[in-house]
Chain A
Amino acid sequence: MKSRSIAGAILGVALAVGFVCVWKLQQKIDEERASLQLEKQELALRSPGVLKKLSLEYTPLMAAVYWTRVVQYYGEKHRMHDQNLELLWPLLDITTTLDPHLLVAYRYGSIFLSDRPPRGAGQPDQAVVLLERGMKANPDYWRFYQDLGNVYYFDKRDYAKASQAFEAGSKFPGTPPFMKIMAAKIAAEGESLETSYALWLDLYQTAGNQDVRKNAEEHLRLVKAEMDLRQIDRLADEFEKKTHRRPARVGDLVDAGLLPAQPRDPDGFPYVLGEKGHAEIHPKSPLREDWQKDKLLAQQVK
């Protein structure tokens, strides 16, 4: 009896030790595999048609699986700061072929595709293709026109087409007046900070997902900062007119009574004046990198 309980105890300990070894070994393998992981990410089946056939009668479930793969793929790349999102389009292509009525895949998929790196794949043309496919499969859904307008406005900077998209969407029964207003505003002004702010604000308020809302919020902060910078530049011009010299720092505007206090960006960092006396985002502000990229892109477009 005693020897049996001893044997049982030894077996229990041996099992526990064995599993600890397995756990440790797996960790080691995971570490070694991590270097292979980036190269390994592949799609075994790239043909949406074949996948649809193979899914038998379970295409909705497969569509849900592939959409989750899209979200996970995008999230993982974002987390790893990896800007190579080459599988994003094939995954979205498969998802929307498996279920052409999965609206969420078109809406968020187009944001993932069109947004500029490092946030998105920087493929606005593919986003347009995706949304046009969505419109064809779901002709009664007006939100796609808003999404298309956003892609043309923010990413392709094609204001005529952006206005057309909002205009086309506004003709659907039950669409909010916002669509018609945006169509007219973009047609009249092209790009303006107020329009950008309104578009991001609507996305922020209507997005059902926290990540998309967070993305919209980041853009809103950036637009808000850009509005502040322009206001500071205007005041700096006024200061120059009065004193015949460009202010050396933002504090000069406060001292002259043009600003009530040192203005700060949405992250709490004070704005600064650059070498040429133009307002800039503080070098330590998290917004600075995105702001510089936006500025560069705007110059390239010009």
Chain B
Amino acid sequence: MRNIRAVAANTFREAVRDRVLYNLVFFALLMMAAAILVGQISIGIEQYVIVSLGLSAISIVGIFIAVFLGVALVSKEMDKRTLYALLAKPVHRWEFLLGKFFGLVMTLAVNTSAMAAGLYVALWSVKHPLERADVYILVAVYLILLKLAVIVALALLFSCFTSPFLAILFTAGLYVAGLFAADLRAVRAVELDPLALQFMRGISYLLPNFQNFDVMAAVVHGQNVPAAFVWTATLYAILYIAIVLAGTAVVFSRRNLK
């Protein structure tokens, strides 16, 4: 556990040193511009734009960080040959992986929290006092963070057995495919072979269903997100991440690092 914590803390420090959190400046500028401009170029959607733009930006920036840094977590250590020095110490490979995973998730959590605070400031500038329904924005932010954690796990998996470029492609591809997982299940094409339909259904359950973490459409209208939904989405994320990280540990433990 100590090893994991040490690797995670180091990963977080490295991300901060790499100026990853600089994206917060971009986010702050974006929110300020939106708060000032939207009222002048549109009608009746100031609050709607602040929330939808803020949540979209949190999601998109987070996805970029999760994919690009997630893929670099292992490959960078190998390129710089620091991995070999680390593994020479009494650190298991799986501990290294878990440390890397939690380190990046911690970075994303800090980044996402700061962005959420910025979103609330922007929202407050167009509407004060804030309402009770505005709390649901936090639920959406939390679910985005869960989604990002799943993406980090996938990026980590791919980076363990393929080149960084392909790992980015696979992770991004799986993210997009995961957004359509439910649609794959809903295909009712008459002309489709029943076997193919079964196959598609099976694939749809294997894919990470990123729609489970999407409550933006409800939250922008101040709608409540049921606690049961948040709870099951959390369980889903934990389970999926556990499976992917277990697979990653197996692949990484068998990888010849010489």
Which residues of A pack against B, CB within 8 Å?
Answer: 53, 56-61, 63-64, 67-68, 71-72, 99, 101-102, 104, 107-108, 208-209, 211-212
Contacts and interface: CB of A to CB of B under 8 A. Distances in A.
A60 B55 CA distance: 10
B53 interface: yes
Given A57-B214, A58-B216, A60-B217, A102 B45 contact: yes
B44 A104 contact: yes
Contact of A57 (B51, B210, B221): B210
Pick from B41, B42, B59, B60 the residue with the most CB of A within 10 Å. B42
5 contacts: A58-B52, A59-B216, A60-B217, A64-B53, A72-B41
Ranked nearest first, the 3 interchain pairs of A and B with the lowest CB-CB distance are A104-B44, A60-B52, A68-B42
B184 interface: no
A64 B41 CA distance: 11
Given A64-B52, A64-B53, A57 B211 contact: yes
A157 B212 CA distance: 48
Nearest to B48: A64
B175 to A, nearest CB: 9
A17 B214 CA distance: 51
A255 B108 CA distance: 83
B115 to A, nearest CB: 15
A59 B60 CA distance: 13
Contacts of A212: 43
A60 B44 contact: no
B176 interface: yes
Given A56-B176, A58-B56, A102-B48, A209 B211 contact: no
B56 to A, nearest CB: 4
Contact of A61 (B56, B180, B221): B56
B241 interface: no
A17 B210 CA distance: 52
B26 to A, nearest CB: 16
Contact of A209 (B44, B52, B179): B44
B38 interface: yes
B216 A57 contact: yes
Interface size on B, as a range, is: 20 to 34
Contact of A56 (B42, B48, B179, B221): B179
B220 interface: yes
B49 interface: yes
A208 B217 contact: no
Given A102-B45, A208-B44, A60 B220 contact: yes
A46 B114 CA distance: 38
Contacts of A68: 38, 41-42, 45
A19 B56 CA distance: 35
Interface of B: 38, 41-45, 48-49, 51-53, 55-56, 59-60, 176, 179-180, 210-211, 214, 216-217, 220-221
Contacts of B221: 101
A67 B52 contact: no
A271 B41 CA distance: 38
A108 B43 CA distance: 8
A75 to B, nearest CB: 9
B48 A60 contact: yes
Nearest to B214: A57
Contact of B42 (A61, A71, A208): A71
B146 to A, nearest CB: 13
Nearest to B54: A61
Contacts of A102: 45, 48
A99 B221 CA distance: 10
Contacts of A72: 41-42
A60 B43 contact: no
B41 A60 contact: no
Pick from A60, A68, A212 the residue with the most CB of B within 10 Å. A60
Given A61-B56, A104-B48, 14 more contacts: A56-B176, A56-B179, A58-B52, A58-B59, A59-B217, A61-B53, A67-B45, A68-B41, A71-B42, A72-B42, A99-B220, A102-B45, A211-B43, A212-B43
Nearest to A59: B217
Nearest to A72: B41
A102 B43 CA distance: 12
A280 to B, nearest CB: 35
A132 B55 CA distance: 30
A107 B44 CA distance: 10
A108 B52 contact: no
Contacts of A60: 48, 51-52, 55-56, 216-217, 220
A71 B59 contact: no
Nearest to B42: A68
